[in-house]
């Protein structure tokens, strides 16, 4: 086996890519100020790095590992390009699978929710998206962001409280 050969069983990487590619690209694009090409590059490099890792080393924490590596890659890309930090709260989060009917029916509520999400702090937005879009646990979000588990819980609680108080019942 060469140094760059994939250490995962055949087909397993395909399943992982199928499951995590869209949420990782959305996460990376948001961090990169809407740069979808850069986000795709970061995610591709994340999956390439996964191939070089032993399944035994990351399988029990796969989602957190993927988002953490992707986050680090985006930060590295921003540093090397001398990118000016962008207010990520201004970039709309794409919905990965709505049909035209759903989009038309939910457009007003979705627009209102996007406006309310924009009012959250950048940290609250990040933990909310990692929880809701990526489905990560508090521990996984802590691993990705470097926050403590209790701090993740605090930011999520505050975000939900803010959204509930502002969104009509």
pLDDT value for 81: 73
The pLDDT tens digits for 139-149 are 999 999 999 99
Report the run of H or E that residue 97 belongs to, with start and end: none
Whether the predicted pLDDT of 2 surpasses 50: no
pLDDT value for 150: 93
Question: d(Cα 58, Cα 65) in Å, to the nearest integer?
Answer: 7
| Burial class of 130 by CB neighbour count within 10 A (0 to 12, 13 to 18, 19+) | buried
Q: What is the CA radius of gyration of the chain?
A: 17
Q: Enter the CATH code of domain 100-169.
A: 1.10.10.10
Could you tell me what percent of the chain has a pLDDT over 70? 78
Sequence spans of domains, the chain? 1-86, 100-169
Q: What is the pTM of this model?
A: 0.68
Rounded to an integer, the average pLDDT of 125-131 is 88
Terminal-residue alpha carbon distance, the chain: 58
Could you tell me what percent of the chain has a pLDDT over 90? 34
Residue in the block written with tokens 């090397």: 80
If you write DSSP's letter for every residue of 98-126 in order, what string do you get? Answer: --HHHHHHHHHHHHHHHHHHHHS-HHHHH
Cβ contact 138:152 at 8 Å: yes
The pLDDT tens digits for 12-52 are 988 999 999 999 998 998 888 888 899 999 999 999 999 88
Backbone angles phi, psi at 17, to 5 degrees: -60, -45
């Amino acid at each position: 086996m060469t140094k760059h050969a994939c250490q995962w069983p055949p087909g397993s990487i395909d399943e992982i890519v199928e499951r995590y590619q869209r949420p990782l690209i959305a996460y990376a694009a948001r961090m990169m100020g809407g740069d979808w090409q850069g986000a795709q590059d970061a995610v591709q490099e994340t999956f390439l790095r996964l191939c070089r890792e032993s399944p035994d080393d990351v399988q029990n924490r796969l989602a957190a590992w993927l988002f953490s590596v992707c986050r680090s890659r985006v930060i590295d890309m921003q540093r090397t390009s001398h990118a000016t930090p962008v207010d990520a709260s201004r970039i709309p989060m794409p919905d990965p699978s709505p049909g035209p009917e759903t989009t038309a029916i939910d457009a007003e509520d979705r627009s209102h929710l996007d406006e309310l999400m924009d009012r959250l702090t950048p940290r609250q937005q990040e933990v909310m998206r990692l929880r809701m879009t990526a489905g990560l646990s508090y521990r996984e979000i802590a691993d990705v962001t470097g926050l403590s588990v209790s701090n993740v819980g605090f930011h999520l609680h505050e975000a939900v409280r803010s959204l509930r108080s502002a969104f009509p019942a």
